[in-house]
Amino acid sequence: MNLIEKIISKQAKIGIIGMGYVGLPLAIEFVRAGFSVFGFDIDEKKIQMLASGQSYIKHIDLTPLIQPAPAPTPNGLNNQSLNAITHKPNKPANPLSHSTNTCFTPTSDFSRLSEVDCIIICVPTPLNKYREPDMTFVFNTGETIACYLKPGQLVVLESTTYPGTTDQDLRKILEKSGLKAGIDFYLAFSPEREDPGNKEYTTSKIPKVVGGYTENCLKVAKTLYDQIVTRTVPVSSTRVAESVKLLENIYRAVNIALVNELKILFDRMGIDIWEVIEAAKTKPFGFHAFYPGPGLGGHCIPIDPFYLTWKAREYHFPTRFIELAGEINTNMPYYVVQKIGEALNERGKSIKDSKILILGLAYKKDVDDPRESPSFRLIELLEEKGAEVDYNDPYIPITPKMRKHKVTKQSVPLTKENLSRYDCVVIATDHSAYDARFIVENSNIVVDTRNLTGKSGMKNTKVVMA
């Protein structure tokens, strides 16, 4: 039986490397579709939590991963159950092993890659301090796969990266195994399109772009994703697929930079940017609304455009729009701090020695994802100026360890008494849990970067828009 037949019959075993915001939802969809899935991660804490049925990401429900697998059909095509969840030798038994018909195996034992038919890479692709691609996670993962790669397997990269990563860099690493891509194993790229917290567009409902190293590689990869998404979008090469994701995020980064710049300009002109946007978006064609904020956050938009900027240097091509957008968006926390200083100054205070509360550590509303959140930079800038800064976030009780930031704090309760003791309260994330009226009525000054107060009709002399 060839790999396409195994995929269609659900006998193919799936290995997903990286159990984060991309890999975990993907694992859930494959389990839902009736596949046996191995979830690989180097973080033992994550593996232990998954093994005990606990989710470490708020908006992701693990219920599908711990439900019994479908009963085998008479021809045995759906018999992909695993008799037990196992880890490396000498490790404690998996608490999920009480359900001996489960389809999901969380593990940090990468030797088990030899047991799967399809390997999907969902590891981070951050930037280093010079805004250059840090491909450590992808390339190290490739080296590991090469140790266990066997003929007939499919390897798909989903991590956002520069064009040429899959068919050039990753391919060469995988071919250290002695196997040749497109001949002995299949190779493809399919960019992740996750939007954490989006209940309308979940993994299965978002069209999946797929590019293969060869035509046969594309057929196999498309067949795989056809099993879990409503629509696959095949493209001519892995480089086209890699470029698709970059275009999507550059489009957003540039347009967000545009409204951020206009926010600063309109503020000087005494014009409300939020009212302008609301009126402009009534046009039924030719306009898509983007909204300003305190800076860019999340793993994609602040990072991905610079993968293309870096690659463009190889072709002696300046990416001016990308660089300018990055400059504008990176400077937004400085603008917010300036507005905080002006608001305090009008009340006879300075940032130095003021007590300031940041509302929202997550980079977007109603998620527990703090990656690249501008709130970290706001806290650092304010503390550098001598302020005493606390934060509240209903989804993030303790600041996580971040590569770029050294903020170590605990979320303070959002009470009437707490709000009143701060000189300034800054709305950095517009969580649905935040009651604008309660916040404004009990605060001395509110600096609003997300228009939470405006949408709630709470604009008054205590509120400063930033």
Residues with active-site annotation: 300
Distance CA 1, CA 175 (A): 24
Per DSSP, the three-state class of 82 is coil
**What string of H, E and C letters represents the secondary structure of 173-227?**
HHHHHCCCECCCEEEEECCCCCCCCCCCCCHHHCCEEEEECCHHHHHHHHHHHHC
Cα 134-372-360 angle, rounded to 5 deg: 165
Helices (H), 227-373: 238-269, 273-280, 305-313, 320-345
- Pick from 401, 377, 371, 372: nearest CA to 391: 377
- The encoded tokens of residue 136 equal 């450590």
266-271-272 Cα angle (round to 5): 100
Tell me the residue length of the chain.
Answer: 466
Instruction: Mention every residue, 6+ apart, whose C-beta is less than 8 A from residue 451.
Output: 274, 291, 430, 465
CA pair distance 427, 415, nearest whole angstrom: 15
Strands 186-189 and 208-212: antiparallel
Q: SS3 sequence, 40-53?
A: ECCCHHHHHHHHCC
